[in-house]
Amino acid sequence: MESQGNNNNDLVEMNRSAIVKILQQKQVCSRADIAKITGLTQASITKIVAVLIEMGIVSEVGIIAGNGNRRSIGLRLNAEQKKVIGVKFGRHVFALGVFDISGKLYAQKDISFDLNQDTRTVIDSMKNQIRKMLEMFDDIVAIGLALPGPYLKAEGRIAMVTRMQVWHSINFIDEFKNEFDKPVFIEQDANAGALAEWWFGNHGRPINTLAYFLAGEGVGSGIVNDGRLLFGKQGTASETGHISIDYKGPKCECGNRGCLELYCSAPAMLKEAENKIAGFEEKNYASRSEACAAVFDAARKNNQKAVKLVRSIAEYIGYGCVTLINGYNPDIIVIGDILAQGGDLMLPVIDEVIKERVIPELYDEVKIVFSKLGVDPTLYGAAAIATDRVLRKPSEYLAVK
């Protein structure tokens, strides 16, 4: 648990962190802009910025246009000098990416594994790949690991993930905590996606509450409120995938019936596609993502069965969004992962469902978008887990020694 109070040094670091976070988002801005956003006095900003420049975290970039006719000196974060490794652990693939703290990707590697493979072999292979990345880049400051949820944060264990039973006994904290000379931060995939959208999504500020709706191998959501993830007691809050939309529906592995995940995950869509679209078989495609892309393409080409299927998937995602809106009152819901490939087809349907089922005052204020981070926002998310932690303690992680 994080401490409740703040010592003087913590306050100094919090103010440094606030400035660094603004620069991470705005790329270039003036001391006066920062004063306006933070509410700190110009004198305080000048003092803190001087220290950040001395630490090599921030640079001046010449004159920029200010308010009115005023011109002022621009400041920027030296983001490219500090990198993080993001590691996404999926149901049959793990991926590694080296990113800088502005979200720019420098290297990526995807490694497939069989779910029946010995867990020790897979973990050791992950560690070896991380070590290789650490050897390739000498400016890595932290590692972020994104796991499928529900992830019991304090225990370091995945609680229940469809089709991944053998992995329940692995303690990821014990495995990774002291493995490298860089800190490893772990979160579940939907929370990671939420952080990726928060830090790298370019959704415009201010945002108070961002909800990320993961629609991929599973269904989940992550909520960032005022820059902080919502965890609940054990870390599994906002498990939208296991909210029931039909209490008499099919039984889910979690114990509940009619869980949302059973209706609008990628496997759920592909199962329906095999039943309903003539000649469609998932096994004809290299990956689940490609198989889903084929269903969306068929719908775009006006295959009526595909159009109908995509519509029904979009309706289910809409029901999930209604739950997110009523549960968390977000400014924005970002829908991401494999099914985001069909965003253009699904967004109007999702909007229809929300408009019909949410009270007008809430409907008017919430923005629904599909992720623009690409098909694998969880990998960005893994990097965002590390970035988020690093930006909280700039002097510890970002100072050029």
Interface residue list for Zn ion (CB under 5 A):
242, 252, 254, 256, 259
Nearer to Zn ion, 161 or 223 (CB): 161
Phi first, then psi, for residue 210 (nearest 5°) are -110, 130
Please state the separation of Cα 28 from the chain's center in Å.
Answer: 24
Instruction: Give the separation between CA 378 and CA 126, rounded to whole angstroms.
Output: 16
Shortest distance (Å) from residue 259 CB to Zn ion: 3
Shortest distance (Å) from residue 17 CB to Zn ion: 37
Nearer to Zn ion, 242 or 389 (CB): 242
Distances (CA, A) of 329 to 163, 336, 353: 32, 19, 16
Nearer to Zn ion, 153 or 242 (CB): 242
Nearer to Zn ion, 53 or 254 (CB): 254
Question: 86 near 385, Cβ under 8 Å?
Answer: yes
- Which strand (E) or helix (H) includes residue 61? strand 58-65
Nearer to Zn ion, 99 or 167 (CB): 167
248: exposed, middle or buried (Cβ count in 10 Å: 0-12, 13-18, 19+): exposed
CA angle in degrees (0–180, nearest 5) for 51-53-55: 70
Shortest distance (Å) from residue 245 CB to Zn ion: 11
Shortest distance (Å) from residue 55 CB to Zn ion: 47
Nearer to Zn ion, 17 or 236 (CB): 236
Nearer to Zn ion, 134 or 254 (CB): 254
Shortest distance (Å) from residue 7 CB to Zn ion: 43
Distances (CA, A) of 349 to 36, 128, 138, 266, 383: 40, 45, 47, 18, 32
Shortest distance (Å) from residue 328 CB to Zn ion: 19
Shortest distance (Å) from residue 249 CB to Zn ion: 10
Question: 43 near 32, Cβ under 8 Å?
Answer: no
- Other C-beta atoms closer than 10 Å to the C-beta of 200 total 24
Distances (CA, A) of 267 to 16, 216, 226: 45, 8, 33
